[in-house]
Structure formats: structure tokens, C-alpha cells
């Protein structure tokens, strides 16, 4: 059973471009969580999704950021018109229904905005 997968592991974008980050949960896990980590900071909650539903997006900026978890395929975190302040490590985690939510994090995507 592969762990939580994220790709790409490293992503470089110029200001104004779009960034698409992917998260494939562990097999049997239908809940996905996205967190952002700025350099030398703790993680900050962004969004919690279940298949085809956004449960809580209160941590996600209203502008430029969106997330989805379709019936088939990975969860996608999309950042439009990236700015330098978006540079961070983005981690996702997954859990089965009723499981401990943040037991298993993926390896993260390190986004650098030039």
C-alpha cells in the first residue's frame, strides 16, 4: 500500500503563472487535507475535502486559490497568478472515514516563485 503521493516534488513558477499541485491519497482514503508550510514555520491549514466535496476551505485565501477532489483521480490544489509570497512547501494528508485525520502526510511539493 503506497503512502500519500504528491507531485511534482519541486515546482518553479514565475510571477503570474499558474501552479497545479497534485495529491493522491492512500488506497481506501477518501478524505484529503492540504496544509502550507512557510520557511521555518509550522504548518497552516488550508482546506479539507472529501470525494467531490469541499468540507472546510476556511484556511484558503479567497482569491487565486482553489482545490478539488474529483470522483476519479488525485486532489488538485490550484494557485492562479502566483506571487512570491506563495513560495512554500505544500503538504497533503489523507485518512479513511473515521480515521485519525493527519496521520499520514505526503512528501510535499516545494513551490518556488521567481
Window 49 to 88, contacts with another protein (CB under 8 A): 55-56, 58-59
* 40 vs 31: CA distance, rounded Å: 27
Question: x/- string (CB under 8 A) for another protein, residues 2-41?
Answer: -----------------------------x-x------xx
DSSP 71: S
Q: Which of 26, 108, 111, 113 binds another protein (CB under 8 A)?
A: 108
Show the beta-strand stretches assigned E in the chain. 5-7, 10-13, 19-24, 31-37, 43-50, 53-56, 65-68, 75-79, 88-95, 104-105, 109-113
4 near 26, Cβ under 8 Å?
yes
Least distance from another protein to the Cβ atom of residue 103, Å: 5
* CB nearer to another protein: pick between 45 and 76: 45
Residues that bind another protein (CB under 8 A): 31, 33, 40-45, 48, 55-56, 58-59, 91, 100-108
Amino acid at each position: 500500500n503506497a503512502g500519500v503521493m504528491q507531485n511534482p516534488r519541486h515546482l518553479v513558477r514565475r510571477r503570474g503563472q499558474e501552479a497545479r499541485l497534485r495529491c493522491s491519497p492512500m488506497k481506501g482514503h477518501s478524505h484529503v487535507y492540504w496544509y502550507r508550510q512557510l520557511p521555518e514555520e509550522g504548518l497552516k491549514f488550508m482546506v479539507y475535502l472529501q470525494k467531490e466535496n469541499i468540507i472546510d476551505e476556511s484556511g484558503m485565501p479567497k482569491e487565486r486559490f482553489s482545490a478539488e477532489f474529483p470522483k476519479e483521480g488525485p486532489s488538485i490544489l490550484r494557485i492562479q497568478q502566483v506571487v512570491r509570497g506563495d513560495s512554500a512547501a505544500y503538504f497533503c494528508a489523507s485518512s479513511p472515514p473515521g480515521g485519525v485525520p493527519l496521520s499520514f502526510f505526503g512528501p510535499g511539493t516545494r513551490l518556488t516563485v521567481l
